[in-house]
């Protein structure tokens, strides 16, 4: 048995320096030191065990992945996954930074391209062959960089629609009638009472068609339609007015607000078939 009166070995001193733990405690060699000697990993006291409940199928999926990797276990997989999520979760808002960098790159790139093209066109036949070749190379690389920037920044946003039609009216029976009819037609539909949360719903769910009442207490349909059509994210949403106001008045406002069609109340259910051409 090693006691505190016996001088500690260099290995024990190294262990204590690395881990902050005792190699000998109350005259007995600690179990953690013995594990450290065998190459086992020693965890500090600031680590905490976390319980996790998963289905048997999920466990099998994880296990299959782990078996295909070197030096990986369940614990390490979870730690890496959580760290990756934390690191990248906040990057959704970084697109604004990408746009800023894109702008800062495009400005000098425009000058480089312009000057290169200008030299090649105005000094044609008068440039040293080597110089001309260099300028052409600069121009070609500028075009390549421009293409790469466009592929990152100008990539169209693609968000899948969660349902086909959003019905917005401040009259509950009308909402119930329309949602019931479209569900019977095997279409995905959602109804909202009033216009207060329509923009938020459109951004989150991206329905293909918005059936919109005109006269509502929160925000009238004409104003809401203009807001939707002016939003780059929503401008492709087809908007059809549902209204009891005179047809002549609706027609006057159609082009002004960018609506795609209208249905006058009271309507026959067969009239609603016009909605299908926008789906």
Give the domain CATH number at 205.
Answer: 3.40.50.2300
- pLDDT on residue 128: 87
Does 183 share its domain with 228?
A: yes
* Whether residue 254 sits in one domain with residue 197: yes
pTM above 0.85, yes or no: no
- Whether residue 60 is contained in a domain is answered as no
Q: What is the DSSP letter of 196?
A: T
10 Å CB burial of residue 80 (0-12, 13-18, 19+) is exposed
106 shares its domain with 40: no
Ranges of residues in the chain with a pLDDT under 50 are 1-4, 92
Please tell me the predicted confidence (pLDDT) of residue 47.
55
Co-location of 143 and 185 in the same domain: no
Looking at the structure, tell me whether residues 110 and 171 fall in a common domain. Answer: no
Residue 29 lies in a domain: yes
- Report yes or no on 119 lying in a domain: yes
Looking at residue 125, its pLDDT comes to 84
Q: In terms of domains, do 143 and 229 share one?
A: no
Same domain, 149 and 169: no
Note whether residue 78 is domain-resident. no
Digit-coded pLDDT (tens) for 90-125: 554 555 566 666 667 777 778 888 888 888 888 888
| Residue 73 forms part of a structural domain | no
Domain count, the chain: 3
62 lies in a domain? no
What is the structure's pLDDT at 217? 84
**CA-CA distances (angstroms) from residue 68 to 17, 55, 57, 61, 72?**
36, 20, 17, 11, 9
Give DSSP secondary structure letters for 116-163: HHHHHHHSTTTS-HHHHHHHHHHHHHHHHHHHHHHHHHSPPP----S-
- 267: in domain: yes
CB burial of 231-260 (b: ≥16 within 10 Å; e: otherwise) equals eeebeebbbbbbbebeeeebeebbeebebb
In a domain, 175, yes or no: yes
pLDDT score of 143: 83
Structural domain range at position 237: 165-278
Specify whether 270 is located in the same domain as 189: yes
Q: Is residue 190 domain-shared with residue 240, that is, in the same domain? A: yes
Statement to judge: residues 178 and 235 lie in one domain = yes
Residues 192 and 230 in one domain: yes
Residue 152 contacts residue 167 (beta carbons within 8 Å)? no
Indicate whether 144 and 169 sit together in one domain.
no
């Amino acid at each position: 048995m090693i006691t505190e009166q016996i001088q500690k070995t260099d290995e024990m001193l190294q262990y204590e320096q690395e881990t902050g733990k005792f190699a000998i405690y109350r005259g007995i060699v600690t179990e953690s030191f013995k594990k450290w000697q065998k190459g086992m990993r020693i965890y500090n006291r600031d680590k905490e065990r976390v319980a996790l409940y998963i289905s048997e199928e999920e466990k099998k999926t994880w296990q299959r992945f782990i078996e295909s990797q070197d030096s990986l276990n369940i614990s390490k997989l979870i730690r890496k996954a959580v760290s990756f999520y934390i690191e990248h979760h906040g990057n959704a808002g970084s697109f604004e930074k990408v746009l800023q960098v894109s702008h800062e790159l495009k400005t000098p790139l425009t000058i480089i391209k312009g000057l290169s093209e200008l030299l090649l066109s105005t000094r044609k036949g008068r440039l040293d062959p080597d110089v001309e070749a260099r300028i052409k190379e600069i121009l070609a690389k500028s075009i390549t960089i421009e293409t790469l920037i466009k592929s990152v920044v100008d990539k169209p946003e693609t968000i899948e629609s969660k349902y086909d039609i959003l019905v917005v009216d401040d009259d509950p029976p009308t909402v119930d009638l329309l949602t019931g009819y479209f569900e019977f037609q095997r279409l995905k539909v959602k109804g909202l009472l009033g216009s207060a949360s329509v923009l938020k719903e459109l951004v989150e769910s991206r329905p293909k068609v918005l059936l919109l009442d005109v006269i509502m207490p929160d925000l009238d349909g004409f104003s809401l339609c203009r807001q939707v059509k002016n939003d780059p994210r929503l401008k492709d949403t087809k908007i059809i007015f549902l209204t009891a106001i005179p047809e002549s008045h609706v027609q006057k406002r159609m082009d002004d607000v960018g609506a795609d069609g209208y249905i006058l109340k009271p309507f026959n259910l067969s009239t609603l078939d016009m909605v299908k051409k926008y789906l």
